[in-house]
Amino acid sequence: MRTSRSVQLGQRASNQAPFLVRSALPVSRGIPIRRYVRETFTQPRENASQTARAFLDRFPKEAYMSEVETWRELPGDEIEFTMRRLRTAD
């Protein structure tokens, strides 16, 4: 009985050792390099927008790719938000 080429290749691949999965992060001396710096804040609603604006003024989006990554409303009219930026400007 003849088997197709794709079946043969599939059988051969299943007999080999599993392949290694590479990390998506660049590595330096075995330590992953994180591209983004994240800061999480929990503040009253009035202060949260001021803090986000100050962060974006300090780390402009054009240079640092800064943004509000996530945010959510908490009880007591507080906002929890995470700001993200690149480590350095290019």
In a domain, 25, yes or no: no
In a domain, 1, yes or no: no
Contact 30, 80 (CB under 8 A): no
Q: What is the CATH number of the domain that holds 45?
A: 3.30.30
Q: Name the domain count of the chain.
A: 1
Q: How far apart are CA 14 and CA 12, in angstroms?
A: 5
In a domain, 75, yes or no: yes
In a domain, 50, yes or no: yes
In a domain, 15, yes or no: no
Model pLDDT, residue 25: 58
- The better pLDDT of the pair 22, 49 is held by 49
CA distances from 61 to 26, 47, 72, 79 (A): 23, 21, 21, 22
In a domain, 54, yes or no: yes
In a domain, 87, yes or no: yes
The DSSP string of 23-85 is PSS-EETTEEPPSEEEEEEEEEHHHHHHHHHHHHHHS-HHHH--EEEEEEEETTTEEEEEEEE
In a domain, 14, yes or no: no
CB atoms within 10 A of CB 81: 20
78-86/27-28 β-pairing? unpaired
- The better pLDDT of the pair 2, 22 is held by 2
Average pLDDT, the chain: 80
Domain that includes residue 89, residue range: 32-90
The predicted-structure confidence for 19-48, as pLDDT tens digits, reads as follows 555 555 566 676 666 789 999 999 999 999
